Amino acid sequence: MTVWLRGDHLVRRRGPLADRPNERVVLVEATSFARKLPYHPHKLTLVFSAMRHFRDELRDAGRTVDYYREETFADALERHFEAHPSDTLVTPAPVTERERDRLTELVETAGGSVEFVDDERFVCSPAQFDEWAGEADGYRHEDFYRFLRRETGYLMDGDRPVGGEWNYDDQNRETPPADWTAPDPPAFEPDALTREVAAWVDETFAGGYDEPPYGGDWADPAPFRWPVTRRQAVRALDDFVANRLAEYGPYQDAMRCDEWAMSHSLLSTSLNLGLLGPREVIKRAIAAYEDDQAPLNSVEGFVRQVLGWREFLRHVYRREMPALAEANQLGAEEDLPPFYWTGETNMACLADVVDGVRTRGYSHHIERLMLLSNFALVYGVDPAQLNRWFHAGYVDAFHWVTTPNVVEMGLFGAGVFATKPYAASANYVDRMSDYCSGCPYYKTKTTGEGACPFNALYWDFLDRNEGQLRSNHRMGLVYGHLDNKDQEEREAIRERAETVRTMATRGDL
Ligand code: SF4
C-alpha cells in the first residue's frame, strides 16, 4: 500500500499520511497536466515548489517518497506499478464522482488499485452536505452557513450565534479614509529550490500565460511571494491575525488603486494546497475575537468566507458538475475582451486590477466579483471563457473554486444558488473605490464619447435580458429605473454598448 498525494493535497498532520505513518509516499509532477491551460507562471511555481518542499520535508522526517516527474500521470503510475506490482494507492477523494472514476481507470490501467479516503482540506463531508441539501434543486448559502455554524459550534453561544446576529454585513461595507494604509502582507522570498522551480517553469512552459495570444509582453512581473511550506503558511496566518484581521471586516468590499491586498487574508493558496487547514484558520480568528484583538464583524465575515462560502462552493461543484461548467442561462456568447489577458485598456479600474493579476496572479474578492466578473456579465461574455481565464491566471484557482464562483456567482450562469445577477454600473465602482477620479472615462455619463463603459453595458444588459430577469423580484427596482428611460435613450444606450464592444475587441477601450 502506498499513499498518493496529489499536488493540492499537501496535508501532513491529518489524513492518509498521518494514518499510515510507515507507508511509502508517491507524488507526481505531470507536465502535460500543467499545460492544459496557459497557467500563470507564479501558480505553476507555487504548486511545484510546494510539492518539492513537501517531498524534502517528508524525506527529512524519514519517510520514503517516490517523486515522479513525467509527461503524464499515466506515465508516472506505470513506472510506479512496474516497481510495485498490484500495489494499492490510498489517496484523498477527488471532488466529483467523474474525477474519481477517471483516477480509478488511470490506476487500474496502469496495473494497480486505488482506495479513496476523506479530503482533509474541508470541514463538511459530502454525506453531511447531502443530508442538509436533501433533494432540493437549489442551494441557499445562508442556510448552509447557519447549519455548519451549528454543527461545528464555531461562533455559537448554545444554539444562538455569538453576538446575537448571524452576520454583520451592515458594518462591513465601509471605505477607508484617504490616508488609510494596510500593513504590508508578508512576502516569502524564494529560496534556492523555489528559484530552481521558477527557472524550470519559465523554460518548460514558455508560450503559456506570458506569451501571445494571451499575455503578450509580460513586462516586469512582481517577485514570487507566496508561502510554499507549512511553516511559511503558518507565518502568513500569524501575520494576518495579528495585523490585518481587525480591519478585514469593515473594508472587505472596498477597493483602492494603491492597495492590492487591502486587509484580505491572502491565505487561499495555502488553504487550497492543504498547507493550512480550515479548522485551524477559523479557530485562530475566533480566538482573536475572544482575546479582544479583532471585532466580531471582522471575525464573523472571515469565518463566513472559510466555513461558509469555501465549503459551500466545493459541494455545489461536486453536485452540479459537469453541467455547471457549461451553464449559460442568459445565452451570453461574446468572446472575452483581449484586455483581460493584455491589461491594455484605458479603464482605470480594470487596467489596475488586470495588471495585478498579470504581475502577481492575484486580486482580492471584490475586484474579482464587482470589476472583472461584473464587466464580463454586463458585456455578455460566455461564462466558460471567463472561467478559463480565472482558472489560468490566479495563484489560488482550481476548477472547483472558479467554476461556481465565476459561472454562477459572477455571471449568473446556472441559477442554482445565485438569486440575481451581480450587475452594477460605475456608480457602484465609484462608491466602493477611488478609481474613477483617475480615469479618462466619465463615471456619470452613460452614452456618447467618453462615457464610462460600465454604464451603457449595465443598462443594455438589463434591456437585453429583460425576458428572463424582469420577473425576478430582486430586480424590480432596477427595472423600474429602466422603465423611466424613453425609447430614444434606450437606443442611444444600445449604440454605446455596441461601440464599447467594438472598441474592446479592437483593443482600444
Ligand atoms: Fe472604471 Fe468607469 Fe470608474 Fe473608469 S469611470 S474607473 S471605467 S467605473
Q: What is the pLDDT of residues 182-204, one digit of tens each?
A: 899 999 999 999 999 999 998 88
Domains (range + CATH), the chain: 2-117 (3.40.50.620), 126-188+225-320 (1.25.40.80), 339-506 (1.10.579.10)
- Please check the confidence at residue 217 and state whether its pLDDT lies above 70: no
**Cell, residue 60:** 527529512
Taking residues 31-49, what's their average pLDDT?
Answer: 92
Nearest protein CA to atom 3 of ligand 1, as residue: 436
Taking residues 309-324, what's their average pLDDT?
Answer: 96
Identity at 246, one-letter amino acid code? A
Ranking 128-137, 479-488, 491-500 by mean pLDDT, the lowest is 128-137
Which positions ≥6 away from 357 have C-beta within 8 Å? 40, 363, 393, 394
Nearest protein CA to atom 5 of ligand 1, as residue: 443
Q: Residue 402: enclosing H or E segment and its boundaries?
A: helix 399-402
Q: Which among 105, 133, 90 has a CA at the least distance from the CA of 318?
A: 133
pLDDT top residue among 347 and 174 = 347
Which residue from 449, 454, 457, 500 has its CB within 8 A of the most atoms of ligand 1, so it is best to mutate? 454
Nearest protein CA to atom 8 of ligand 1, as residue: 426
Which residue from 354, 439, 447, 508 has its CB within 8 A of the most atoms of ligand 1, so it is best to mutate? 439
Which positions ≥6 away from 168 have C-beta within 8 Å? 249, 296, 297, 300, 301
Supply the pLDDT for residue 63. Answer: 96
CA of 426 from ligand 1 middle (Å) equals: 6
Taking residues 301-316, what's their average pLDDT?
Answer: 96
Q: To 10 degrees, the CA torsion angle through 232, 233, 235, 241?
A: 170
- 277 close to 14: Cβ distance less than 8 angstroms: yes
Taking residues 408-419, what's their average pLDDT?
Answer: 94
**Count of C-beta atoms within a 10 Å radius of residue 160:** 11
Nearest protein CA to atom 6 of ligand 1, as residue: 436
CA of 347 from ligand 1 middle (Å) equals: 6
Q: What is the CA radius of gyration of the chain?
A: 23
Q: What is the distance, to the nearest Å, from the Cα of residue 353 to the centroid of all Cα atoms in its chain? A: 15
CA of 180 from ligand 1 middle (Å) equals: 22
Index of the ligand 1 atom closest to the CA of residue 425: 8
Distance CA 240, CA 92 (A): 29
**Cell, residue 231:** 511553516
Supply the pLDDT for residue 206. Answer: 77
Distance CA 239, CA 225 (A): 14
Identity at 384, one-letter amino acid code? A
Supply the pLDDT for residue 323. Answer: 96
CA separation, residue 256 to residues 84, 185, 252, 264, 410 (Å): 55, 15, 11, 13, 21
Residue with cell string 453541467:
323
CA of 339 from ligand 1 middle (Å) equals: 15
**Cell, residue 496:** 454605446
Taking residues 331-356, what's their average pLDDT?
Answer: 94
CA of 439 from ligand 1 middle (Å) equals: 6
Question: Band of the pLDDT at 222, cuts 50, 70, 90?
Answer: confident
- 413 close to 333: Cβ distance less than 8 angstroms: no
Question: Band of the pLDDT at 219, cuts 50, 70, 90?
Answer: very low
Which residue from 255, 349, 367, 455 has its CB within 8 A of the most atoms of ligand 1, so it is best to mutate? 349
Distance CA 411, CA 313 (A): 15
CA separation, residue 56 to residues 52, 64, 229, 264 (Å): 6, 10, 11, 31
pLDDT in tens, 368-388: 999 999 999 999 999 999 999
Question: Band of the pLDDT at 497, cuts 50, 70, 90?
Answer: very high
**Cell, residue 85:** 506490482
pLDDT in tens, 426-449: 999 999 999 999 999 999 999 999
Supply the pLDDT for residue 211. Answer: 57
The pLDDT mean for the chain works out to: 93
Supply the pLDDT for residue 495. Answer: 96
Distance CA 467, CA 333 (A): 17
Distance CA 146, CA 128 (A): 14
Taking residues 162-168, what's their average pLDDT?
Answer: 94
Residues in contact with ligand 1 (CB, 6 Å cut-off): 347-349, 426, 429-430, 435-436, 439, 441, 443, 452-454
**Cell, residue 3:** 499513499
- Please check the confidence at residue 215 and state whether its pLDDT lies above 60: no
Supply the pLDDT for residue 220. Answer: 53
pLDDT in tens, 433-492: 999 999 999 999 999 999 999 999 999 999 999 999 999 989 989 999 999 999 999 999
User: With pLDDT > 90 as the criterion, what percentage of the chain qualifies?
Assistant: 88
CA of 229 from ligand 1 middle (Å) equals: 39
